[in-house]
Amino acid sequence: SPLLSRILTRGLSAGRVQSPALKLIVEREKEIEAFRPREYWTVTAHLGKDGQEFEAALVELNGEKLKKFSLGDAEATAQARDTLLAAMKEGASDDGPGVLTVANVKPTRAKRGPPPPFTTSTMQQAASRQLGMQAQRTMRVAQSLYEGVDTGSGAVGLITYMRTDSVQMAREAVQEIREYVAEKLGADFVPGSPRRYRTKTRNAQEAHEAIRPTSIARAPETLKSHLDSDQYRLYDIIWRRAVASQMSDALYDRVSAEFTPGTPSARVAETTPAGRFRATGNTLAHPGFLKVLARSADSRDKALPPLATGETLDVRELATEQHFTEPPPRYTEASLVKALEDHGIGRPSTYAETLRKIRDREYAVMEKRNFAPTQKGRMVADFLTRHFNDYVDYDFTAGMEESLDAVANGEKHWVPVMDEFWSHYSEQLTEKKRTLKGIEERPRRLLGEHPESGEPVYARLGPYGYFVQLGERTEDHRPPVATLREGLNYEDITLEQALELLRGPRLLGTDTATGQPVYAGSGRNGPYVQLGERGGEEKPKYASLTDGLSEESVTLEEALKLLSLPRELGPHPETGDTVYAGRGRFGPYVQLGERGKEKPKYASLPPEISPYTVTLDEAVGLLRLPRELGKHPDNGRPVYVGCGVKGPYVQIGKRGGKTRPRYIRLPKPHSVFTLTLEEALEVQPARRARRPAIREFEDGGIRILDGRYGPYVTDGSRNASVPREQDPAALSLEQCRELLKNARKKGSRKRPARR
């Protein structure tokens, strides 16, 4: 890290896990930039039988199996289509494109097993994909579930330890799950013997069991009133994954049918058909673990109509479709954690912190939940790969993990392990400190010559990232430079793009109030407008362009409006400090006090108030937020109204308390200045509507409901599942009472919490 800071710029760091993770992000971005799409075509026959439509894809043409790029352009596809249409017409009527004959039908039974219970990394991946949670947030919520939540009778730990790479569960937990599933869903949802999983993670230590609920009897629905939104959602997927891991396979009935063009009588049996089409049908025969572990709808889960070999079907349409290959996707938090795990890099306890450091160091930013490397991140990754490639190599890092595990397990002594690493590393570090001497050691790429002066134009690496430079730097001469804006990169920038950057900011006009010129340009922090000249007596004033404005399109009037911020509103009536309105990277705000003195107080502006028109009274009101409205009538927690970067909100609960506050977005037309406690309580999200009862017995206070795991009878204190062979709507009051009599009371079966 000190060498990075000396050679490149201050504040940089490298790490045994952090640097390979950054290298993964940068290498993926280079793959995307180097990607060139490739064209290919597909041919599909649209068929129908007994009112059911389905599709069959062309898989063979003139006896040759089709590969992805066999039909690489429109011309080849058109020729293939003409050949197929001609063959389809053989023996068919004149109406329509023709017919296909069923060549064979192959029914099969397939099964799909459940995934194992969560490890730290798979929990982080699932939380990222399903809940949109970052790894650090996931671990924070999991920690709160592990430490304990007040469920009405004191704090209870709801999950086992959340930093683990094991997929094994305690024998008692496995048995509890099997009994729970058999009781709630039936014996056919429980496999004949307990499932045992083996970890596929390289270098797994398995010091703790998998992440699971401490008691399966605590179903998520029973805890919803005691958990905040994040806790409930994370506990829900942990509970489901643990239960599903000990359930039976999902069973599918699959049918694969192949078709050839034309009628059977029109083609000689020995001749090769002009083409071969294939259709597949997939229906869920038994849900198994999918009963608990919900999945998204799959277009492949579609049954084919009954088909018999030799029958012919009319082709409704023979469609061709153009496709292009797509570049590999950027890493999400989930896929990056999986890549690190696959390479054997890092540990469950380090993933969240590693991803946080990459963001905090601004080596990468999140764009639509994907990691996009910044120029700073590219600079660090390129430098380390060029000068310390051994130490950012994936196999080296994984091997180091194995050695450290061996030390932890007592298989190796730590001194030889560290000596082997340090002797080579310190020697290389000393050599790099001696030979790498500042700016001339930073990479540069010659782009060409300036068309007028003939001076060389370079793309270079500097303290703040990549830039372009006109001419050579000497002790007496500092050449013109321009920072690469986002979207341009060191490897691909052209001479024309560099010359455009070197022309400098665009003159928009003159500010009549000051007589200073106004420019629009682009720097390392993005596009901006500028009032005044660089190098003049007064330092220029800058303002970043807001959404919807670009360096090329911004006008003088728009620039002056942006440069008018921050503007002074007046003195605060209570403190006398000056109040300002401005715009920052988190949006428009008001500010109490001046920078450089005591830390100013800030407040975000709601969407309906502009920093250009906000009044002193409005600003003072916003600076008083969050405002306490009173106590919640149900739980006694304080209720506040405030305004954050995402707009106005209602807050239930105090920050820093035992239970995390709950936040609710405040909709229009409510105002943060006039909102009352009664109005705040009304904007709470409505509870999910209760499912209508199948049947109710008002005299006995008994209801028959349709629950997640099937119909059940309840009297408010006890539940009893309705046997499968009985129709719930036909149950009498006496039958319901008998079912409830045989059912145990809710909560009567207690198990000690396991951690």
What Cα–Cα distance (Å) separates residue 563 from each residue in 513, 529, 531, 545, 583? 12, 8, 7, 10, 10
CB 30 within 8 A of CB 330: no
Residue appearing with tokens 């730290």? 120
Start-end of H helices in 306-371: 333-343, 351-360
CB atoms within 10 A of CB 680: 21
CB 62 within 8 A of CB 83: yes
Residues 6+ apart with CB under 8 A from 261: 84, 87, 88, 90, 98, 99, 100, 101, 273, 274, 275
CB atoms within 10 A of CB 305: 16
User: Measured between alpha carbons, how far is 461 from 491 in angstroms, rounded to an integer?
Assistant: 11
Q: Where are the beta strands (DSSP E) in 200-311?
A: 250-261, 275-286
Strand order in the sheet with 578-584: 567-571, 578-584, 587-592, 601-604
User: Measured between alpha carbons, how far is 106 from 420 in angstroms, rounded to an integer?
Assistant: 60
Q: Where are the beta strands (DSSP E) in 383-492?
A: 444-449, 456-462, 465-470, 481-483
What Cα–Cα distance (Å) separates residue 71 from each residue in 45, 67, 272, 382, 402? 16, 8, 19, 39, 48
Helix crossing, 351-360 with 333-343: angle to 10°?
120
What Cα–Cα distance (Å) separates residue 708 from each residue in 180, 266, 293, 736? 14, 55, 12, 19
User: Measured between alpha carbons, how far is 256 from 471 in angstroms, rounded to an integer?
Assistant: 67
What Cα–Cα distance (Å) separates residue 312 from each residue in 81, 88, 161, 270, 738? 19, 10, 61, 19, 58
User: Measured between alpha carbons, how far is 634 from 636 in angstroms, rounded to an integer?
Assistant: 6
Q: What DSSP designation does 224 have?
A: G
Token code pair at residue 75: 């011309």
- Give the active site residues: 161
Using a 10 angstrom Cβ sphere, with 0-12 exposed, 13-18 middle and 19 or more buried, the burial of residue 251 is: middle
CB 505 within 8 A of CB 519: yes
CA angle at 455 for the pair 453 and 460, rounded to the nearest 5°: 140
3-state secondary structure of 376: helix
Token code pair at residue 39: 């064209």
**What's the sign of the alpha-carbon dihedral 576, 581, 582, 586?**
positive
CB 243 within 8 A of CB 292: yes
Nearest to 644 by CA among 625, 657, 662: 625
Residue appearing with tokens 């509103």? 569
CB 582 within 8 A of CB 588: yes
- In the chain the first and final C-alpha atoms are separated, in Å, by 39
Token code pair at residue 491: 């490897």
CA angle at 646 for the pair 644 and 647, rounded to the nearest 5°: 65
Token code pair at residue 26: 């940068």
Nearest to 245 by CA among 186, 288, 298: 288
